[in-house]
A and B are shown apart, each in its own frame.
Chain A
């Protein structure tokens, strides 16, 4: 069934969009990532203009995150305190990211900049997670292996402004979460994603949060970051396509519910190794695209040079 999208001004197959939303929603619910790093390139691929894809992708992430958070809430998997602190950093980072993004757009290098950020950050985080989870998976197979402590005391725990995070069982300074939030917000604005794929490993490895609350808290935080992004795009460039978003959302919310159920059945190590493989493959795919000789060297973009 073909459907004409009023803002994107292209005609698309409605079932294809529903399916895309479903797959991304499934991954979103399973891993606690918003799925923006998948939905945006997929929308480019089916011919949606990049600006509309980024803005509408953000809107879809809001819906799948709300759906995911509600599922996590019943499992008591959301640390609202930690989410709030992360969000404070997130807004600051996001605002500065938007500024850098518009600077790069003026220079005509925004595509390259976005692609390099994808390759670098996805590659780095994917590789780190893959290595760590592979090691812990192997360790858990061996009987009588030393048990890894839930978190190790480091310089992070010597910082001032300590706060007790009950749901996470942590007593740490608020400075690291604010920094993590700011970094994720910055990258999120630049790459047009929610930033869950950075947030989740940062919470586990840097803040030492238990895996149980990581996904819910990440989703909780992503709701607000992507909501902010959606409204910003709607107001500044009118690129949010409600019709496209609705289709993605319908597929996405259903996928997210199924994903959350599947996610609870898997072990934390398995979940992490799967997410790391997904993140690494997206990174490699984009990296290869940058190196291979393109079939068409020229590209046409609407609008004149500023």
Chain B
């Protein structure tokens, strides 16, 4: 009898092991493309999905989901002001090789509870891991403070967001979250990553892309400015001169 129980337990453990890896994600996005038109006031991406299993969900630690949305990255310079002879001037700076223009992370629970540091290191999930600053310690003695300041400034500008508990998980199977994109969006490919976690470990993840593009008049002006800068500059002048002349003439006619 006892032997039978042990054997059953063995079986359960043997099954539970691979079952952990057998959970995978099926995801969908409400849109694959965001078009920036002249009246663009921001957009919202709905990230939804389901957990696909070949076996019943394992008992024990609960399932957690993390969704990140990451805008195109670019190098930035972080400067610090100091008082010199009574006035505040920039006198220390570091270069950060790559910082995303937008970053939102939505989770089912508090980040430090559901994600371990080692898994974060492996998958570069949080914003601290996404910002790449190789070798900045050589440039300034307190590089950490500069990175914290970068996070603080961008969070204040609403470019970086932490949305803990904003992923809805139903019956350990269906999940969804809305990520708002701000109006001052930059063009490029926005990377959406979805992580499934148990026991603070990533058990499955998936990546999708959302293309953000200017369209119509916005596209035309942007292309002209970058492809034909001289013509664009002269056109701006003509526009200015004509507007000035029209206004002047209109006013004179109005007075007469």
CB pair A297–B154 under 8 Å, yes or no, is no
Interface string of B124-165 (1 = CB under 8 A from A): 000000000000000000000010011011101000000000
Docked complex Cα distance between A245 and B230 (Å):
17
Q: Find residues 267-306 in chain A having any chain B CB closer than 8 Å to their own CB.
A: 290-294, 296-305
CB pair A234–B233 under 8 Å, yes or no, is yes
Q: Find residues 189-223 in chain B having any chain A CB closer than 8 Å to their own CB.
A: 214, 217-219, 221-222
* Cβ–Cβ < 8 Å partners of B241 in chain A: 62-63, 66
**Of the candidates A1, A230, A253, which one forms a contact with B244 in the assembled complex, judged by CB atoms under 8 Å apart?**
A253
- Chain A nearest CB from B102 CB (Å) reads 12
CB pair B88–A290 under 8 Å, yes or no, is yes
| Known A234-B225, A242-B221: A300·B240 in contact at CB below 8 Å | no
Number of interchain pairs (Cβ within 8 Å): 202
CB pair B90–A111 under 8 Å, yes or no, is yes
A60 in the interface (beta carbon within 8 A): yes
**Of the candidates B42, B185, B252, which one forms a contact with A9 in the assembled complex, judged by CB atoms under 8 Å apart?**
B185
* Cβ–Cβ < 8 Å partners of A290 in chain B: 87-88
- Chain B nearest CB from A197 CB (Å) reads 20
The total of chain B residues at the interface (CB under 8 A) is 66
- Chain B nearest CB from A62 CB (Å) reads 4
| Known A4-B40, A234-B236: A242·B225 in contact at CB below 8 Å | yes
Residue of B with least CB distance to A61: B240
CB pair A253–B39 under 8 Å, yes or no, is no
Q: Find residues 1-20 in chain A having any chain B CB closer than 8 Å to their own CB.
A: 1-4, 6-7, 9-11
Residue of B with least CB distance to A227: B237
CB pair B232–A70 under 8 Å, yes or no, is no
Docked complex Cα distance between A4 and B213 (Å):
13
A65 in the interface (beta carbon within 8 A): yes
CB pair A238–B90 under 8 Å, yes or no, is no
CB pair B36–A249 under 8 Å, yes or no, is no
**Of the candidates B90, B184, B249, which one forms a contact with A109 in the assembled complex, judged by CB atoms under 8 Å apart?**
B90
A40 in the interface (beta carbon within 8 A): no
CB pair A301–B79 under 8 Å, yes or no, is yes
* Cβ–Cβ < 8 Å partners of A242 in chain B: 221, 225, 232, 235-236, 239
CB pair B90–A59 under 8 Å, yes or no, is no
Interface string of A227-248 (1 = CB under 8 A from B): 1001111110010101101100
Q: Find residues 249-275 in chain A having any chain B CB closer than 8 Å to their own CB.
A: 249-250, 253-254, 256-257
B15 in the interface (beta carbon within 8 A): no
Interface string of B175-194 (1 = CB under 8 A from A): 00000000111110000000
CB pair B237–A62 under 8 Å, yes or no, is yes
Docked complex Cα distance between A229 and B95 (Å):
30
| Known A235-B230, A298-B78, A300-B78: A7·B237 in contact at CB below 8 Å | no
CB pair A231–B237 under 8 Å, yes or no, is yes
- Chain A nearest CB from B174 CB (Å) reads 34
CB pair A257–B248 under 8 Å, yes or no, is yes
| Known A240-B225, A243-B221, A246-B239: A257·B87 in contact at CB below 8 Å | no
B173 in the interface (beta carbon within 8 A): no
| Interface stretch (choices B18-26, B53-61, B69-77) | B69-77
Interface string of A40-56 (1 = CB under 8 A from B): 00000001000000000
A64 in the interface (beta carbon within 8 A): yes
* Cβ–Cβ < 8 Å partners of A230 in chain B: 233, 236-237, 240
CB pair B234–A231 under 8 Å, yes or no, is yes
CB pair A304–B75 under 8 Å, yes or no, is yes
Docked complex Cα distance between A2 and B37 (Å):
11
The total of chain A residues at the interface (CB under 8 A) is 60
Docked complex Cα distance between A235 and B230 (Å):
6
**Of the candidates A74, A227, A238, A293, which one forms a contact with B88 in the assembled complex, judged by CB atoms under 8 Å apart?**
A293
B81 in the interface (beta carbon within 8 A): yes
* Cβ–Cβ < 8 Å partners of B219 in chain A: 6
| Known A242-B236, A299-B153: A67·B41 in contact at CB below 8 Å | no
* Cβ–Cβ < 8 Å partners of A169 in chain B: none
* Cβ–Cβ < 8 Å partners of B37 in chain A: 4
The 6 closest A-B pairs by CB, nearest first: A234-B233, A66-B244, A253-B247, A11-B183, A298-B149, A63-B240
A63-B241, A297-B81 are known; give 14 further A-B pairs, CB within 8 A. Answer: A4-B39, A4-B41, A6-B219, A59-B236, A63-B244, A64-B244, A71-B251, A108-B93, A240-B232, A242-B235, A245-B236, A253-B243, A256-B247, A300-B150
List A residues at the B interface (Cβ < 8 Å): 1-4, 6-7, 9-11, 47, 59-60, 62-68, 70-71, 74, 108-109, 111-112, 227, 230-235, 238, 240, 242-243, 245-246, 249-250, 253-254, 256-257, 290-294, 296-305
List B residues at the A interface (Cβ < 8 Å): 36-42, 74-83, 86-90, 93, 95-97, 146, 149-150, 152-154, 156, 183-187, 214, 217-219, 221-222, 225-226, 229-230, 232-237, 239-241, 243-249, 251-252
